[in-house]
């Protein structure tokens, strides 16, 4: 995940613009539970000697050919494309101590992984746009 935030402030006119860009650049998912990784204890040499493999190392790439996929389970890696999100907020001071704000969240949203029968995709909230105006209320006497 890469997050970049840009803030531009113009004090003379009382405006602040904030933009936040978030990018999920790379995501790789491997389903090691879909193989018999937990059941094999090691490998047998040509001399008939069992060479044990520690449990922590059974998922290593050098033992990939020892893994047997379970029937109906997906064992290949899944690579999802990049996801990009843009959030924008503009605030402006108003006379008499008021404030005006406009915001747009999840602008230019591009969801890269919708999932499939075996996995759940990344889901982001839909685009939201809003406006706020705040003004002070005079004190009652």
Question: Taking a C-beta distance cutoff of 8 angstroms, is the pair 102, 39 a contact?
Answer: no
Under DSSP, the state recorded for 60 is S
The first and second tokens of residue 97, run together, are 């101590």
Per-residue pLDDT of the chain (141 residues; tens, 9 = 90+): 788 999 999 999 999 999 998 887 776 666 555 555 556 677 888 888 888 888 778 778 887 777 666 555 555 566 666 677 889 999 999 988 899 999 998 877 655 555 566 555 666 667 889 999 999 888 776
Could you count the other beta carbons within 10 Å of the beta carbon of residue 35?
Answer: 20
Task: Provide the residue ranges of all domains of the chain, joining segments of one domain with +.
Answer: 1-28+78-141, 31-76
21 CB-near residues (< 8 Å, 6+ apart) = 3, 4, 5, 6, 84, 85, 86, 87
């Amino acid at each position: 995940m890469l997050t970049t935030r840009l803030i531009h402030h113009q004090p003379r006119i009382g405006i602040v613009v904030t933009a936040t860009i978030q990018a999920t650049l790379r995501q790789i998912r491997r389903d090691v539970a879909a193989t018999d990784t937990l059941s094999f204890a090691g490998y047998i040499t040509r001399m008939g000697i069992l060479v044990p493999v520690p449990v922590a190392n059974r998922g290593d790439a050098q033992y990939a050919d020892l893994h047997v996929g379970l029937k109906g389970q997906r064992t290949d890696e899944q690579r999802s494309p990049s996801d990009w999100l843009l959030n924008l907020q503009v605030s402006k001071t108003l006379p008499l101590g008021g404030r005006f704000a406009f915001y747009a969240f999840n602008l230019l949203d591009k969801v890269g992984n919708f999932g499939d029968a075996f996995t759940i995709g990344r889901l982001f909230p839909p685009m939201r746009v809003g406006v706020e105006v705040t003004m002070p209320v005079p004190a009652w006497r």
